[in-house]
Chains A and B, each alone.
Chain A
């Protein structure tokens, strides 16, 4: 398995502010990767750099196993769906498809038309006259018609209602099931990630805070509930990501791979992805990046 996106020392400065800084990251191919973080964390910047829309101020970014982002070969293999489905609203769906076909070396017209027919989206309708959900579906159709090896989506769910959101994700997951495509999508909605992502990257304040396979992340974290006065003792044994305590009781989110049993007097609970992500997002100083033990091809240091 190759690498979908690889960055080293990547930074992007707009004016005086660094939108992304000193980011080294390797996302293996074959995953559905969720890129989460609060608004303004650098998600869009990272994705823009990966598709070659922006040029790095520092460092470099490569896609699909070593192609420089934005190079002709990279543009052929990477499809991008921008936020708000940036399509030409004054064109009909059919014309929009034609635009896509004319801009790409690889294009599957039959697949695109089939998808739209399945969704019941009429080809003669103007893109601007479609509902938000339909527009996203058209944008996804255009992205998939390229037959990309890597599909990058910037906040695809942000503007959608719950039904459209579900339908969109269903369509995306069906595409993943049908062929060998790596997906990276950004979102500030954490709740729906768990059923969709198998790899997670958390960005915060222009830096990568957490990166890893969802399974490893959830297996490597536990919540311990126990007496507040023992917190310090626990904190000496395990790295504590988040510490919530009252006068008597404390909940500690700890990071450890091998917790065979809870310490005496403490109860152990598994941790869900949402809880985990929120905990990291609330504690910007904590970070969880694949350590040397796990580092296969995905060396990360941000």
Chain B
């Protein structure tokens, strides 16, 4: 039995960009959906960004040298309130999970559900190549689109960023002005592809991965991220872009107080100030200082923005890689 091919109509290799065309043909509607959603946000951002710029000019903020005090501080506050910073917040946390789940979920699950894998994976290209092409192409598109979104956000936020120094841990900035957003999206996407292979049902996969990704991103933003590095501790002021994660008290002997101790200290002050024994009301902070306690702040200095970005990209990237390898392995070994 010979296995060599007779002279064939299109040579002995796969058509160039053939698999890319298939990927495009099968996922174009998901891609349009992704673009449509982002376009909606992008339009809002462009409008808001332009409006912020005109407000900036109207308020004459350009003439201010510093925004830390006086009229300029007031003007900066005015610019801040002209932004409507709450609307993207909610969606921001949803987006990586949504993109990942809706684009990645059906990639394998739908083939298994509809039985079309029996066609797709018995063709000359083979299933490994089929999967890798799809994964890589879609990953590239997701990265490009989400990175572009980050650039747009940076532009939108630039006037505010100029007049008000935000801590870098402020998550909108952290999310968009680095590589966190694309990486989170990729993670959700890879997880969705993998889950689809296990669950084999499109809608269940999409739902599960959407919720799980949302949970993971929320946990990362609100819990995990501040522990990427050990915070520095200072008794003095921290810089405007430093990220304060906690405050604590040090007693006159130089011992850091535990939470319980801090609590009792606060109760003591509250008791004193409410007993009204003729002393003028004193703030907790001043009272502490009077008692020779010091207030210390744990913080991540502004310079840690990129290290934090890389740490986040690092562990998520590792997870992406593991999920990708597991998907390929499972696809080769376990289907059928």
Contact = CB atoms under 8 A, between A and B. Distances in A.
Given A82-B119, A86-B116, A91-B25, 15 more contacts: A53-B335, A55-B334, A76-B3, A76-B5, A83-B118, A98-B21, A101-B15, A103-B124, A105-B11, A105-B14, A106-B5, A106-B8, A106-B9, A108-B8, A147-B6
B3 A102 contact: no
A109 interface: yes
Contact of B22 (A67, A80, A99): A99
15 contacts: A3-B1, A55-B336, A66-B1, A75-B124, A82-B115, A82-B119, A86-B115, A98-B21, A100-B123, A104-B124, A105-B12, A142-B119, A147-B5, A147-B6, A147-B8
Interface string B1-45: 111011011111111001101100110000000000000000000
Contacts of A84: 115
Chain B CB within 10 A, most for which of A89, A142, A149: A149
A250 interface: no
A89 B335 CA distance: 22
A76 B122 CA distance: 9
Contacts of B126: 72, 75
A293 B271 CA distance: 107
Given A103-B130, A104-B124, A105-B124, A67 B3 contact: yes
A87 B14 contact: no
Contact of B9 (A2, A78, A103, A107): A107
Contacts of A108: 8-9
Interface of B: 1-3, 5-6, 8-15, 18-19, 21-22, 25-26, 114-126, 130, 333-336
Contacts of B120: 103
A105 B9 contact: no
Interface of A: 1-4, 29, 48-49, 51-55, 64-67, 72-73, 75-80, 82-84, 86-89, 91, 95, 98-110, 139, 142, 146-147, 149
Contacts of B116: 86-88
B19 A102 contact: yes
Nearest to B336: A54
A67 B2 CA distance: 11
B93 to A, nearest CB: 32
Majority secondary structure, B binding face: loop
B233 to A, nearest CB: 57
B11 A55 contact: no
A239 to B, nearest CB: 34
A280 to B, nearest CB: 28
Given A2-B1, A65-B1, A65-B3, A102 B18 contact: yes
A6 to B, nearest CB: 10
Contacts of A64: 1, 3
Given A86-B115, A95-B25, A107 B5 contact: no
A11 B117 CA distance: 22
A214 B8 CA distance: 34
A99 B25 contact: yes
Contacts of A72: 124, 126
Contacts of A65: 1, 3
Contacts of B3: 64-65, 67, 73, 76-77, 149
A193 B334 CA distance: 33
Contacts of B15: 101-102
A83 B335 CA distance: 17
B1 A48 contact: no
A57 to B, nearest CB: 11
A149 B1 CA distance: 9
A80 B21 contact: no
